[in-house]
Amino acid sequence: MKLLRLDKYLSDMGIGTRSELKTWIRKGRVKVNGEIIIKPEHKVKVNKDEIYFDDGLISYQQYRYIMLHKPAGVVSATTDKVNKTVIDLIKDKNGRDLFPVGRLDKDTEGFLLITDDGPLAHRLLSPKNLVDKIYYAKVKGKVDVTDVKAFAEGVSIEADYITMPAKLSILHAGDISEVEVTIHEGKFHQVKRMFAALGKEVIYLKRLSMGGLSLDPLLHPGEYRELTEEEVELLKEL
């Protein structure tokens, strides 16, 4: 059973800083199992004791899971000397070591999962797990059935490497074509390189979904929200 100091428990849950919490606990704003506790160092049993702050129940969440609508122009890293990172966009980190699950290119937009759950991230990124990723792309030139076939067979994107079969759906064919691509791997620049191998250039790329979770249409680029419990369960079942 996990034991935590009361002030640490509440700061982990984003209620306040450790020093704010020490003050608030001493003032009697916190109850454990119905009893006011005024010692910040009081040890609580995680997921067993009931902790109330100002009469609101504070449940313990071990990890955070955030859906970010990544905008173009920020990099998928935790730190960067030059560029703004996706982690810089998360304002309420509460001291957690958040990181992006995988990478989108600097100019790619769309669904990016941010978490501090290392084991889950590892599973989602493992090549063994074949997590579907769906992208919307604008491509220079006319995309046609030969491209659809090539994607379905797998495309050679580097010496001795042919991608797994991918699904290409043409939404609009023209001077600038619009397509939807489903891939199962996450090779560096994969979608751009698959088109480049067929002599075509991706000029806009947006990830619509990952592992069955779709980008929330209410999120504008740069905005984010916590995943719901159901969404987290869905990812854990993958």
Alpha-carbon span 182 to 106, nearest angstrom: 20
Is there a catalytic annotation at residue 105?
A: yes
* Rounded least distance, CB 126 to ligand URA, Å: 17
Q: Does 139 bind ligand URA (CB under 6 A)?
A: no
Question: Which of 25, 51, 104, 121 lies at the binding interface for ligand URA (CB under 6 A)?
Answer: 104
8 A C-beta contact, residue 108 and residue 100: no
8 A C-beta contact, residue 190 and residue 157: yes
Cβ-based nearer residue to ligand URA, 40 or 100:
100
Number of residues forming the site for ligand URA (CB under 6 A) = 8
Candidate segments 83-91, 104-112, 124-132, 157-165, binder of ligand URA by CB under 6 A? 104-112
What lies within 8 Å, CB to CB, of 169 at 6+ separation is 148, 179, 180, 181
Q: Does 113 bind ligand URA (CB under 6 A)?
A: no
> Which structure tokens are listed for 215?
């980008």
Tokens 């704010």 sit on residue: 20
Q: Does 163 bind ligand URA (CB under 6 A)?
A: no
* Rounded least distance, CB 110 to ligand URA, Å: 9
> Which structure tokens are listed for 103?
């990478």
Q: Does 190 bind ligand URA (CB under 6 A)?
A: yes
Candidate segments 4-12, 18-26, 155-163, 183-191, binder of ligand URA by CB under 6 A? 183-191
Q: What are the CA-CA distances from residue 177 to residues 109, 117, 142, 167, 184 (Å)?
A: 18, 38, 6, 16, 22
**Annotated catalytic residue, options 49, 105, 116, 216:** 105
What lies within 8 Å, CB to CB, of 136 at 6+ separation is 110, 171, 178, 179, 180, 205, 206, 208
Q: Does 189 bind ligand URA (CB under 6 A)?
A: yes
Alpha-carbon span 99 to 236, nearest angstrom: 17
* Rounded least distance, CB 14 to ligand URA, Å: 30
* Rounded least distance, CB 206 to ligand URA, Å: 9
What lies within 8 Å, CB to CB, of 38 at 6+ separation is 25, 26, 27, 28
Cβ-based nearer residue to ligand URA, 40 or 110:
110
Question: Which of 70, 192, 200, 206 lies at the binding interface for ligand URA (CB under 6 A)?
Answer: 192
Q: Does 167 bind ligand URA (CB under 6 A)?
A: no
Q: Does 215 bind ligand URA (CB under 6 A)?
A: no
Q: What are the CA-CA distances from residue 198 to residues 9, 108, 156, 163, 191 (Å)?
A: 54, 20, 9, 13, 11
Task: Point out the residues that are catalytic.
Answer: 105
Interface contacts to ligand URA, rule CB under 6 A: 104-105, 108, 189-192, 205
